[in-house]
A and B are shown apart, each in its own frame.
Chain A
Amino acid sequence: MVKKGQLKIQQMTFMLIAVTLFFILVGLFLLSISFSGIKESATELCEENALLLASKIANSPEFSCGESFGTTKTNCIDADKVIALIENSDEYKNFWGVSNIEIRKIYPEFSTEVLCKRENYPNCNVMRIFPEEEIEGVYVSNYALLCRKEYFKGLVGGGCDSEEIETVEEIIYDECELAKIMINYEYGKEC
């Protein structure tokens, strides 16, 4: 036969277990809310990083024109240097804290997307720094000037009305095109 005192203890035990479980559940609920916030703020920080990079990366030493094309230009990308960077991109993994960087020529326009490699350069329109990486996630972009050295060998001078004699000349000149630099980052990925 259960005594009155024992019954009270049983009641109290059940009550205490119920109260404990309640608090544990509330705690778990709060924790899950708090941790979902962490992921959100991590993504926000990645976005902020990408935004700032997009506006400035063209001036970093790996991309910038420097004085190669006359005076120092801001937001000018040296395509000849970038093609070398693409070939050595393994060393630069995680260097900028973004998933990928892409430079797209926007003028003159190309009918199709042609990824730049040493073999087809400069007859291409997309320079992807990590070409083997699949592009996922979100882009942040900014406009920049994409410059390279070009070589010309041909007849110079002469003409219908001119008495000047045509000569074969070799000229190295600067070719600059309008491009868009795109910074790719992924949600929930470390940046």
Chain B
Amino acid sequence: MVKNWFSLKSKIKMNRKAYLQFSFAWLFAIIVGAFILFLAIFFSAKLINTEQTIQDAKTGKEIGILLNPLEIGFESGKSNSITFPVETRIYNKCNNNGEFGRQIIQVSQKSFNKWSETEIDVGFSNKYIFSNGFAEGKKFYVFSKPFEFPFKIADLIYITSASEKYCFVNPPEEIEKELLFLDQENLIVKNCSEDDVKVCFSGTCDIRINLNTKQVIKEESSVSFNDDALMYAAIFSDENVYECHVKRLMKRLENLAILYNEKAIFLSLKGCNSNLDLLTLINLAQDFDNSQELNLISEIAEEIQEQNNLGECKLW
């Protein structure tokens, strides 16, 4: 019995040794294998993220390029749509630095029920896009209107998500006509529903427009406009985006006024006088701070426009 017990013990010892030898090799393989797998998964995830970022940047750039025809006024007053295959967020940012400032677009797309994180800015100096901080959806409506102050400065582009509806309550006839002509599904003139963002020209609403003082009043903000193009801009965009783009527009106005002033000097040598007070306009545009100052420039712009219309040589 004692002998049997010893033989059993030695067998267990032997087995243990074998077990130990086998398990160490496996343990080593598992640890290193796991490490390799971790690296593979880590780099794959990084690669997918990079690809997603590239895709987002590419989409942003494509949006900007597709808006080129709108920027140059060919499609003014017509509504177009952009449809994405997946849920997309178009972030609208604006930068005031430099000679003309920059329109910045960031795009984030939903993949595996998660929004891609992108920090790549796609910038354009010659575009002025008005939308909320970000517009979300698969389908977006785009339309544009020229901004003249007194000469044409740019075409303003308005982007709204198809899922966000704006209902204009009792608008003036001209605006109603324009909206009906646009025939944009998310801009409603009659039969508002509860979920719509209500825009009214009298009374209290989500967005209130005072045509006398030329102001658009939202929950906590109030901005000024001088014509229909800027009125729509104020309706469809955040206060920050609006103010920043208005500043950029004044920068372009300043540069265009310099060109027209030089053209005027050149033409006067040929005996074609225009006598426009463009220098005052240049100075006002240079000192422009916020939309409240639009009224002041507006008066001078109107005077200059009248003089240009009556002049021997029209500058624009």
Cβ contacts under 8 Å, A23 to chain B: 36, 40
A151 close to chain B: CB less than 8 A: yes
User: Which positions in B face A, CB cutoff 8 Å?
Assistant: 21, 24-25, 28-29, 32-33, 36, 39-40, 43, 47, 51, 54, 58, 61-62, 65, 68-69, 71-74, 99-100, 124-126, 151-154, 252, 255-256, 258-260, 262-263, 266-267, 270-272, 312-316
Contact partner, B32, options A16, A52, A60, A91, Cβ 8 Å? A16
Complex contact B65–A52 (CB within 8 A): yes
Instruction: Give the CA-CA distance A53 to B65 in the complex, in Å.
Output: 9
Q: Write the A33-64 contact mask toward B (1 if CB under 8 angstroms, else 0).
A: 01000100100010011001100110111101
CB-CB contacts below 8 Å: A51-89 with B: 52-53, 56-57, 59-62, 64, 66-68, 78, 80-81, 83-85, 87-88
Complex contact B54–A62 (CB within 8 A): no
Cβ contacts under 8 Å, A61 to chain B: 151-154, 252, 256
Complex contact A5–B314 (CB within 8 A): no
Q: Write the A164-185 contact mask toward B (1 if CB under 8 angstroms, else 0).
A: 0000001010000000000000
A158 close to chain B: CB less than 8 A: no
Instruction: Give the CA-CA distance A53 to B32 in the complex, in Å.
Output: 56
Stretch from A93-101, A107-115, A138-146 contacting the other chain = A93-101
Q: Name the prevailing secondary structure of the A interface residues.
A: helix
A-B pairs with lowest CB-CB distance, top 3: A84-B262, A56-B72, A52-B68
Instruction: Give the CA-CA distance A30 to B58 in the complex, in Å.
Output: 20
Complex contact B272–A84 (CB within 8 A): no
Instruction: Give the CA-CA distance A12 to B30 in the complex, in Å.
Output: 11
Cβ contacts under 8 Å, A12 to chain B: 25, 28-29, 32
Complex contact B152–A66 (CB within 8 A): yes
Cβ contacts under 8 Å, B21 to chain A: 5
Which one of B36, B72, B270 has the greatest number of beta carbons of chain A within 10 Å? B72
